[in-house]
Chains A and B, each alone.
Chain A
Amino acid sequence: VSHSQITRLYSRFTSLDKGENGTLSREDFQRIPELAINPLGDRIINAFFPEGEDQVNFRGFMRTLAHFRPIEDNEKSKDQNGPEPLNSRSNKLHFAFRLYDLDKDGKISRDELLQVLRMMVGVNISDEQLGSIADRTIQEADQDGDSAISFAEFVKVLEKVDVEQKMSIRFLH
């Protein structure tokens, strides 16, 4: 991450930090108007906060956003032996998976899927219809027959999708 990007991120961090105490709380995030009308707004906000904490510092802020750095070509080949960078395809997918899987048992259960679906779809869909959509989704992905989507199955469903592009912020180099 280049120096100028860090500076920009920091200025954004400070402009969000209305309390000026060097950390962001959930209210600071909720103040962003576009986030309020994002169906997944709450979950995205929660993703920034480590387990059980209510404040996130700049390091944590950057760490979460680093998942969304676009993958550059020259990065793919170098450093095969080092730890996988945060913005690798696998880690990006892991981030998304964690947003589905609230109880962190490593699987997206039918209920968790239903919750997300309900957030993304209008109120005109009955519970029954929503249930059948969820069932269909699980049925397509499920390979080990446990009626839930594990991380490996999640990855397989999205294998044809250009996740690297879909999960990269377009204005970060």
Chain B
Amino acid sequence: LDYQHVQVPFEITLWIMLASLAKIGFHLYNKLPSVVPESCLLIFVGLIMGGIIYGLNDRSPPVMDSDIFFLYLLPPIVLDAGYFMPSRPFFENIGTILLYAVVGTIWNVFGIGFSLYGICQVKAFRLQDVSLLHNLLFGSLIAAVDPVAVLAVFEEIHVNEKLHILVFGESLLNDAVTVVLYKLFRSFCEMPTIKSMDVFAGVGKFFVVGLGGVLVGLAFGMTAAFTTRFTKDIRVIEPLFVFLYSYLSYLTAEMFHLSGIVAIIACAMGMKRYVEANISLKSHTTVKYFMKMWSSVSDTLIFIFLGVSTIGENHEWNWPYICFTVIFCLVWRALGVLVLTFFVNRLHVNTITGKDQFIIAYGGLRGAICFSLVFLLPDFHRKKLFIAATTVVILFTVFIQGMTIRPLVDLLAVKRKRESAPTVGEQIHIRFLDHLLAGIEDISGHWGQYYWKDKLEYFNSKYLQKILLREYDQPKSSIVLLYEKLERKHAIELAEAGQLGHAPSHPSLLNDNRTILRDKKLEDALNPDVLENIQEILARNLYRIRRTGPAYNRHTLPGETEHVEHTKEILILRHRSL
């Protein structure tokens, strides 16, 4: 038995296998994911595993190595998020997102840091040796909202596109701020004295980290696009370039102490358009599937490891500190969201409602990033306290907030509902008006950002496309591409059926030879059974307005949602009527 020889890859594969089997297990029970978010279940599995290992070996189970997390587990998730991020709503709301990410995070960090320092001053808690700097350091790592946890929970609740993009974008971009503040405070801890010059240097560093990350990402993205221009004859390795370049951008950014997450997002968003035009359709599908697969595995592993690492002797339980940490996290986030939203609503007409604010505040989940950062702290004697506090905060946010957010959202929505169910006529007319408004809004265009978007489009068509695209022709929007694909498919179907006439492909559109007596129909319409049937039909089949669904979903590919099916149907119908 040569276990030593294969130990490392064997154990890794076993963990991944465990993660995947756990995932299958959850989806076997249909009811479970709707009550308990998947992330909770995964942590639970991790806790069990950790307990087993602890019991067997009688020592603490392997703590998740921060390096493994930051170098191997986090990049696939962020890449997946960046690649499938719908760029239009993201850039529409970029101002708000940046405001929440930067100002909000700074607010949270200082708020939590200072208030915890205040708590430490209370003699009864025996916490006097935790200095202000330590508290600020702790604040910087605990304040950041975590994209992994947010993604996991927000999939369960269906919020509108704008809200989704706000919280999601914020959780991705606050990495830059977190990195800077964390490193800043850590270096301050080691320095004997702190001059104001150092503080200014810190502020400057923030801009460097953020913008540097974007530049690095874009550079790699453009290079990737350029490379794919020449891959016509070796289609098989095309998907590899996408992943290699993105990962390289992440590593390069980390090497220069810039924000890796921002870099990888910039890389993905930058190269997506050109790469998709250059690589073959099959490679494209491969890229999408692999990305989803890797990010799913990473996601699962992170949560399981979180559970495993919780068990053990790494904690110092000082309950007052821990409780106040949790409370302050909630309070400061809520305050931050309120204040910032007040400013945002003054500037934009597109107001963020109270319900939205609640979701943003309550949806500020902490996750594995905080956990890893706390393990990276230098060893000082209060480190275990911080570890314990971080663990409790993460568990609290993921479990309690994760599980209750859905019922609370439903509760808030129910309060606005009318007393009587809308009549059929109302439903139809309301949907009609919604479509009408969506159309008018599209015609009237999106203010402000349109100027920059036009400029970018101009730059794009004049220079970038010539360099980066293999076949330079008129840029086609995804709608047109979809339309062309449908046309081709339709033509092939017709040819195969041997008909050149206008043959309807859906039997339901065929006009049967049934004679329908109008009087009889009216009588039937009065029947309550028919009414219920109608309501059900409408609820299931009315096309959704463009903006009411989440555009990004962890578990399904973009082309497979029902929204796209509807889009295809609409296009087919319009074409027939032309």
A residues adjacent to B (C-beta < 8 A): 8-9, 11-12, 15-16, 29, 32-42, 44, 48, 65, 68, 96, 99-100, 116-129, 131-133, 135-137, 139-141, 154, 157-158, 160-161, 163, 166-173
Q: In the complex, which residues of chain B have a beta carbon less than 8 angstroms from the beta carbon of A172?
A: 349, 444
Of the 9-residue stretches B255-263, B268-276, B320-328, B520-528, which lies at the interface with chain A? B520-528
Docked pose: A112 CA to B273 CA in angstroms: 41
User: Assuming A8-B447, A9-B444, A133-B537, is B573 touching A123 (CB within 8 A)?
Assistant: yes
Q: In the complex, which residues of chain B have a beta carbon less than 8 angstroms from the beta carbon of A167?
A: 433, 436-437
Which of B349, B451, B521 is close to A131, meaning CB atoms less than 8 Å apart?
B521
Nearest A residue to B564, CB-CB: A37
Asked whether, in the complex, the Cβ of B443 is within 8 Å of the Cβ of A44, the reply is yes
B439 at the interface (CB under 8 A from A): yes
Which of B436, B526, B541 is close to A99, meaning CB atoms less than 8 Å apart?
B436
Asked whether, in the complex, the Cβ of A128 is within 8 Å of the Cβ of B432, the reply is no
Docked pose: A160 CA to B433 CA in angstroms: 14
Tally the A-B contacts, defined by beta carbons under 8 Å.
185
- Cβ distance B253 to chain A, nearest Cβ, rounded Å: 33
Scoring A35, A36, A124, A163 by chain B CB atoms within 10 A of each residue's CB, the highest score goes to A36
- Cβ distance A99 to chain B, nearest Cβ, rounded Å: 7
Asked whether, in the complex, the Cβ of B433 is within 8 Å of the Cβ of A163, the reply is yes
B183 at the interface (CB under 8 A from A): no
B566 at the interface (CB under 8 A from A): yes
Asked whether, in the complex, the Cβ of B430 is within 8 Å of the Cβ of A161, the reply is yes
Asked whether, in the complex, the Cβ of A38 is within 8 Å of the Cβ of B439, the reply is yes
B281 at the interface (CB under 8 A from A): no
B residues adjacent to A (C-beta < 8 A): 348-350, 418, 423-426, 428-447, 450-451, 454, 477-480, 483, 506, 508-509, 511-512, 514, 516, 518, 521-522, 524-526, 530-531, 533-534, 537-538, 541-543, 546, 566-567, 569-574, 577
Asked whether, in the complex, the Cβ of B524 is within 8 Å of the Cβ of A132, the reply is yes
Asked whether, in the complex, the Cβ of B445 is within 8 Å of the Cβ of A15, the reply is yes
- Cβ distance A126 to chain B, nearest Cβ, rounded Å: 5
Asked whether, in the complex, the Cβ of A96 is within 8 Å of the Cβ of B436, the reply is yes
Nearest A residue to B453, CB-CB: A15
Docked pose: A29 CA to B430 CA in angstroms: 24
With A96-B432, A121-B537, A170-B350 already in contact, 16 other A-B pairs whose C-beta atoms are closer than 8 Å: A16-B443, A39-B543, A119-B570, A121-B542, A123-B572, A127-B508, A132-B525, A133-B428, A135-B518, A140-B423, A140-B425, A157-B425, A160-B418, A161-B429, A166-B430, A168-B437
Asked whether, in the complex, the Cβ of A39 is within 8 Å of the Cβ of B570, the reply is yes
Q: In the complex, which residues of chain B have a beta carbon less than 8 angstroms from the beta carbon of A48?
A: 443
Asked whether, in the complex, the Cβ of A166 is within 8 Å of the Cβ of B434, the reply is yes
Q: In the complex, which residues of chain A have a beta carbon less than 8 angstroms from the beta carbon of B423?
A: 140, 157
- Cβ distance A149 to chain B, nearest Cβ, rounded Å: 8
- Cβ distance A32 to chain B, nearest Cβ, rounded Å: 6
Asked whether, in the complex, the Cβ of A126 is within 8 Å of the Cβ of B508, the reply is yes
- Cβ distance A4 to chain B, nearest Cβ, rounded Å: 9
User: Closest 9 A-B residue pairs measured CB to CB?
Assistant: A12-B445, A44-B439, A34-B442, A136-B525, A137-B425, A135-B525, A33-B477, A33-B479, A38-B439
Asked whether, in the complex, the Cβ of B349 is within 8 Å of the Cβ of A170, the reply is yes
Q: In the complex, which residues of chain B have a beta carbon less than 8 angstroms from the beta carbon of A120?
A: 428, 431-432, 435, 542-543
Asked whether, in the complex, the Cβ of B541 is within 8 Å of the Cβ of A125, the reply is yes
Docked pose: A127 CA to B479 CA in angstroms: 28
Q: In the complex, which residues of chain B have a beta carbon less than 8 angstroms from the beta carbon of A38?
A: 435, 438-439, 442, 546, 570
Asked whether, in the complex, the Cβ of B436 is within 8 Å of the Cβ of A136, the reply is no
- Cβ distance A109 to chain B, nearest Cβ, rounded Å: 12
Asked whether, in the complex, the Cβ of B440 is within 8 Å of the Cβ of A44, the reply is yes
- Cβ distance A128 to chain B, nearest Cβ, rounded Å: 7
What are 18 inter-chain pairs, A to B, with CB distance below 8 A?
A15-B454, A35-B442, A40-B432, A40-B436, A41-B439, A44-B436, A120-B432, A122-B566, A123-B569, A127-B512, A133-B538, A136-B424, A140-B424, A157-B429, A163-B433, A166-B434, A169-B441, A171-B441
Asked whether, in the complex, the Cβ of A158 is within 8 Å of the Cβ of B432, the reply is no
Q: In the complex, which residues of chain A have a beta carbon less than 8 angstroms from the beta carbon of B511?
A: 127
Asked whether, in the complex, the Cβ of A125 is within 8 Å of the Cβ of B350, the reply is no
Q: In the complex, which residues of chain B have a beta carbon less than 8 angstroms from the beta carbon of A44?
A: 436, 439-440, 443
Docked pose: A20 CA to B574 CA in angstroms: 28
Docked pose: A17 CA to B412 CA in angstroms: 44
Q: In the complex, which residues of chain B have a beta carbon less than 8 angstroms from the beta carbon of A68?
A: 437, 440, 444
Which of A11, A126, A158 is close to B426, meaning CB atoms less than 8 Å apart?
A158
- Cβ distance A28 to chain B, nearest Cβ, rounded Å: 10
Docked pose: A168 CA to B451 CA in angstroms: 23
Docked pose: A137 CA to B526 CA in angstroms: 11
Q: In the complex, which residues of chain A have a beta carbon less than 8 angstroms from the beta carbon of B439?
A: 34-35, 38, 40-41, 44
- Cβ distance B461 to chain A, nearest Cβ, rounded Å: 13
Q: In the complex, which residues of chain A have a beta carbon less than 8 angstroms from the beta carbon of B566?
A: 122
Docked pose: A40 CA to B542 CA in angstroms: 13
Docked pose: A137 CA to B530 CA in angstroms: 13
Q: In the complex, which residues of chain B have a beta carbon less than 8 angstroms from the beta carbon of A135?
A: 518, 521-522, 524-525
Q: In the complex, which residues of chain A have a beta carbon less than 8 angstroms from the beta carbon of B521?
A: 131-132, 135
- Cβ distance A3 to chain B, nearest Cβ, rounded Å: 14
Docked pose: A168 CA to B543 CA in angstroms: 21
Q: In the complex, which residues of chain B have a beta carbon less than 8 angstroms from the beta carbon of A137?
A: 424-425, 428
Asked whether, in the complex, the Cβ of A29 is within 8 Å of the Cβ of B425, the reply is no
Asked whether, in the complex, the Cβ of B429 is within 8 Å of the Cβ of A132, the reply is no
- Cβ distance A140 to chain B, nearest Cβ, rounded Å: 5
Asked whether, in the complex, the Cβ of A139 is within 8 Å of the Cβ of B522, the reply is yes
Docked pose: A119 CA to B543 CA in angstroms: 9
- Cβ distance A93 to chain B, nearest Cβ, rounded Å: 9
Q: In the complex, which residues of chain A have a beta carbon less than 8 angstroms from the beta carbon of B509?
A: 123, 127
Which of A36, A39, A65 is close to B440, meaning CB atoms less than 8 Å apart?
A65
User: Assuming A32-B442, A172-B349, is B436 touching A121 (CB within 8 A)?
Assistant: no
User: Assuming A8-B447, A37-B546, A128-B516, is B508 touching A139 (CB within 8 A)?
Assistant: no
Docked pose: A145 CA to B559 CA in angstroms: 47
Docked pose: A40 CA to B534 CA in angstroms: 21
Q: In the complex, which residues of chain B have a beta carbon less than 8 angstroms from the beta carbon of A166?
A: 430, 433-434, 437
Asked whether, in the complex, the Cβ of A158 is within 8 Å of the Cβ of B429, the reply is yes
Q: In the complex, which residues of chain B have a beta carbon less than 8 angstroms from the beta carbon of A35?
A: 439, 442-443
Which of A8, A42, A117 is close to B574, meaning CB atoms less than 8 Å apart?
A42
Asked whether, in the complex, the Cβ of B541 is within 8 Å of the Cβ of A121, the reply is yes
Asked whether, in the complex, the Cβ of A139 is within 8 Å of the Cβ of B441, the reply is no
Asked whether, in the complex, the Cβ of A125 is within 8 Å of the Cβ of B526, the reply is no
Q: In the complex, which residues of chain B have a beta carbon less than 8 angstroms from the beta carbon of A160?
A: 418, 426
Which of A16, A34, A121 is close to B546, meaning CB atoms less than 8 Å apart?
A34
Asked whether, in the complex, the Cβ of A15 is within 8 Å of the Cβ of B437, the reply is no
Asked whether, in the complex, the Cβ of A96 is within 8 Å of the Cβ of B349, the reply is no
Asked whether, in the complex, the Cβ of A37 is within 8 Å of the Cβ of B570, the reply is yes
Docked pose: A2 CA to B437 CA in angstroms: 21
